Chain A
Amino acid sequence: MRRIHRVKSVPLEELKPVKLTYLDWSIMLVYFVFVLGIGVALKRYMKSSTDFFLSGRSLPAWITGLAFISANLGAQEVIGMGASGAKYGIATSHFYWIGAIPAMAFVGVFMMPFYYGSRARSVPEYLKLRFDEKTRGFNAISFAVMTVLSSGISLYAMGLLLEALLGWNFTVSITIAAAVVLVYVFLGGLTSAIYNEVLQFFLIVFGFAPLVFLGLKDAGGWTGLQARLATVATESGFASGAWTESWSHMGSPGSNPMGIEWFGLAMGLGFVLSFGYWCTDFLVVQRAMAAKSMSAARRTPLIAAVPKMFFPFLVILPGMIAIALTYKSGSSGFMLPKKPDGTFEYNMAIPLMLGHYFPTGMLGVGLTALMASFMSGMAGNVTAFNTVWTYDIYQSYINRGASDQHYLWMGRMATIFGILISVAAAYVATRFNNIMDMLQLVFAFVNAPLLATFLLGMFWKRTTGHGAFIGLLAGTIAAAIHQGLTLPVGAHAGVKGGWFGAIHIYPSELAQAFWTAIFAWTACFVVTILVSLATRPRDEKELVGLVYSLTERPKEDRLPWYQRPAVLAVIVLLAAIVLNIIFW
């Protein structure tokens, strides 16, 4: 819901760029030296294509685990979650405590045995082994296009942000970021991307933690923050706890700033979108595939779940602090600026706080952390792209049976043109913002039904290739039709939907997105079952290792309890429940 805020604030254009000193520049330089140095140091170890695309399947679980969340820490995470923290308050934690942790536990315990055990080298390749060529082709091509363009979109976001905050030239900042990612992925492949993701993970934690501390201190601690956020809530027309209680106001869409009720939230976000992303997106699954053993692969998402669960305190809390201080100023006078249309510039919440609270020195660390988050997200996209391109498109349809060295070379070439396309996409986005919105919408249509295909494929041996393929198409079409028949409140027909005429108005864009996902999943689920029943099933012998009921359970009784996936899954789920209750 778009509200014009009555609170006074400065327009964004009047803010002066943050000034950096030689100390901040040296800190950034040190970071760049290490990031590139890792790539150079690993170059010698890239001897085969498996080294380059899968790190030789040799990494310990804690490394792949930290890379697992770091690759997902793109622009969406730090900037988007900070913005949502300001917009929706603590309810943003739903993206973590029900929108990530349960899915991460599920992929580790139930799905990883098939991804890792089948020796598939990518998610599309699993689809080829389980179903058929056309299902793999559909997934590989849509995924490849999607990752390259998403990395372009995040480059674009980074360029805009650095321009607004520091007055840096758009072209210079995106060229440098793209060149650095290019060099370290080109040289050291997935290992280099993963090593840097772990480094970036720690940098992001160290760069943002003092911000939360200073912001909270300025707002008068947690109790002071609660009191200020009560003002925010009541002035926006909600109950006083709407920004500090995550579940209490989810009874109906009208009573919380997210504009969604508990059912749409739990099914749309908690089930379809979250499981769809964490369980089927090769960007994250690739990290687990690089692990050195089955049990390490299964522990990867479970280890990742631990820091993931506490990320709301690092990225959402600053957004909440920013909006609280804007309504009721603290001693240091921090405020969120306004856009020309009178709404707040939510996306600038975290970057502006960095500029406001950090003195030179710490400022360098904070800005480096911000850049690190963009670069780790981009490297994640690039490594997923070069693998899917080389294995699932080039090796499968263009040049089969070449030498291993040839595929290694192709992986490096794919890294180069993947990044070039991303940069081009970032420029296109500066001219035609709507094209990017449109593309993201199309991606959402293609992605939403995937989960149903994987669940049926892994847990119902009767599912057939024709069923999977037609189900995926049906789900994608269902998503497009649903979007075409609905609109979020206050929007006009166009990118936001409603192009067939709006027969239902949702209280918010989030509500519309969640319900689109629910419709797509259901259509794919039902159609896949119906078509599968009407087509010839595959011989059960061919499905050993690919389907739950035909595969031996991985043995874990020799492992100590803290290495057993099932035990770890129960622990992270209980911890997530406790966090939900604390902030109920």
Chain B
Amino acid sequence: MQLDIRLPIGLMFAVLGALLLVFGLIGDKSGFQRSLGINVNLWWGLVMLVFGVVMFLLGRRGTATARLTEESPEGKKIEEMEHRTGLEK
């Protein structure tokens, strides 16, 4: 089984979301003047964390992967064409 793309995406957003969430909870609050008094780190971190976890769980089912040319029917047809037309050995 190859790499399902949702695994790295899910993992990355979960890590980033968790980072933001934690710093939204315990970090310095004075910076939130800039964001009009809203704790964007907390709220958006939570959204990113949830998105990341959902992607990761979907990825565990593992259907969205690239396959090797020799394993995919369409890839094989390209190889055949290349050999037939003498483009490669």
Contacts and interface: CB of A to CB of B under 8 A. Distances in A.
B89 to A, nearest CB: 5
B77 interface: yes
Contacts of B23: 23, 361
Interface residues of B, number: 49
A142 B15 CA distance: 43
Contacts of B61: none
A45 B2 CA distance: 8
B87 to A, nearest CB: 6
Interface of chain B, helix or strand or loop or mixed?
A: helix
Nearest to B86: A401
Interface in B34-58: 34-36, 38, 40-41, 44-45, 47-48, 51
Interface in A45-72: 45, 47-51, 54-60, 62-63
Given A27-B16, A199-B12, A214 B36 contact: yes
A286 to B, nearest CB: 13
Contacts of A166: none
Contacts of A496: none
B20 A361 contact: yes
A60 B44 contact: no
Interface in A162-182: none
Given A41-B3, A56-B66, A48 B79 contact: yes
A56 B35 contact: no
A400 to B, nearest CB: 7
A30 B45 CA distance: 15
Contacts of A292: 67, 72, 74
Contact of B16 (A38, A356, A365, A406): A365
B32 to A, nearest CB: 5
B71 A56 contact: yes
A126 interface: no
A218 B36 contact: yes
A359 B16 contact: no
A119 B77 contact: yes
Given A292-B72, A365-B20, A400 B12 contact: no
Contact of A57 (B44, B45, B78): B78
A321 to B, nearest CB: 13
Contacts of A95: none
Contacts of B34: 332, 356-359
B41 A403 contact: no
Contacts of A50: 69, 75, 78-79, 82
B12 A119 contact: no
A365 B24 CA distance: 14
A358 B40 contact: yes
Contacts of B31: 359-361
Contact of A60 (B13, B64, B75): B64
A424 B18 CA distance: 39
Contacts of B78: 50, 54, 57, 119, 121
Given A51-B69, A56-B75, A210-B44, A202 B13 contact: yes
A217 B64 CA distance: 38
Contacts of B81: 119
A247 B87 CA distance: 51
A238 interface: no
A56 B12 contact: no
Nearest to B66: A191
Contacts of A549: none
Contacts of A542: none
15 contacts: A30-B15, A41-B3, A42-B3, A42-B66, A50-B69, A57-B69, A119-B81, A199-B5, A206-B47, A361-B19, A361-B23, A361-B27, A403-B88, A404-B82, A407-B88
Interface of B: 2-3, 5, 8-9, 11-13, 15-16, 19-20, 23-24, 27, 31-32, 34-36, 38, 40-41, 44-45, 47-48, 51, 63-72, 74-75, 77-79, 81-82, 86-89
The 7 A-B residue pairs whose C-beta atoms are closest, nearest first, are A359-B31, A57-B74, A58-B72, A58-B67, A56-B69, A56-B75, A50-B69
Given A206-B47, A214-B40, A403-B89, 10 more contacts: A31-B16, A34-B12, A56-B70, A57-B72, A62-B64, A191-B66, A206-B13, A218-B36, A332-B36, A365-B48
